[in-house]
Amino acid sequence: MRTSLIGGLLATALMSVGCGGPMEQEEAPDLATQEAPLPDCSVSPDDLRNYYRDAAHTDLIGQWGCYCGGLYNWGNKSGPYVEYIYSC
């Protein structure tokens, strides 16, 4: 009986201490505040997007992408008319 009691106390002590107790929950990162790294256009293939306000592509309102080794990132990138350029 005494052996069972000591064994039970030892098992309880090991379960509460040996497992490290409850784990603390890590907070998920706020993805809205993180910035993605800019592409390295010196080794990236050309992939330039020109954003235009009109179908005739006369009113350029923004650009995004790599072109001839340089990064172009300016203006409005939600224009209704997009032109893709894949070669320098």
pLDDT, tens digit, for every residue of 40-74?
Answer: 898 888 999 999 999 999 999 999 999 999 999 99
- The predicted model scores a pTM of 0.56
Q: Range with the lowest mean pLDDT among 6-10, 27-31, 50-54?
A: 6-10
* Strand 47-52 versus strand 81-85 pairing type: antiparallel
Which tokens go with 3?
Answer: 């052996």
Rounded CA separation 46/70 (Å) = 9
Q: Radius of gyration over alpha carbons of the chain, in Å?
A: 30
Burial class (CB in 10 A: 0-12, 13-18, 19+), 48: buried
Could you state, in order of their start, the residue ranges of all structural domains in the chain? 40-88
